[in-house]
Amino acid sequence: MNDQSWMSLALDEARLALSEGEVPVGAVLVRDGVCVSRGHNRREQLHDPTAHAELLCLRRGAEALGDWRLSGCTLYVTLEPCPMCAGALLMSRVSRCVFGAADAGKGCCGSVYDLPADPALGGGTAWTAGVMEAECKAVLDAFFQGRRGNQSSALSGR
């Protein structure tokens, strides 16, 4: 499978979040061409500010692999990771992050800040932006337009 195929699975997770009334962000963790785990935002359901798609996916992945070190893994996520999630990528040693939509308000893989490239943190997580960007933005925009009843940017809140 290629980046677009894995991002399609992350979009399936985002749509699941949408159906549950959550901000529609989905994530898929892959190692050696195999899906290790999947996740989507569940902050509202779990009443947990840390229940972002990326963190839930990383937790499940670490459990499935029996190791918190996720080197050799790629995380596919529909929205650019926030500071918390970008930090988790580094701390878990994820090798690569691929995201769809940039987040001009909170994105920390190049938009607001490039946390993985900060030399003080040791780096180690490469990232690729814009994979299936239009599709990822469309799911987010649909959620926020429906919720707010206006044309506000989906990427202004998580």
Query: How many CA atoms does the CB half-sphere of 158 hold within 13 Å?
Result: 29
The burial class, CB within 10 Å (0-12 / 13-18 / 19+), for 114 is middle
The first and second tokens of residue 57, run together, are 């996916």
What is the C-alpha R_g of the chain?
14
Active site residue 80: no
The active-site residue, picked from 54, 63, 80, 133, is: 54
CA terminus-to-terminus distance, the chain: 29
Cβ-contact 61, 37 below 8 angstroms: yes
- Which residues carry out catalysis? 54
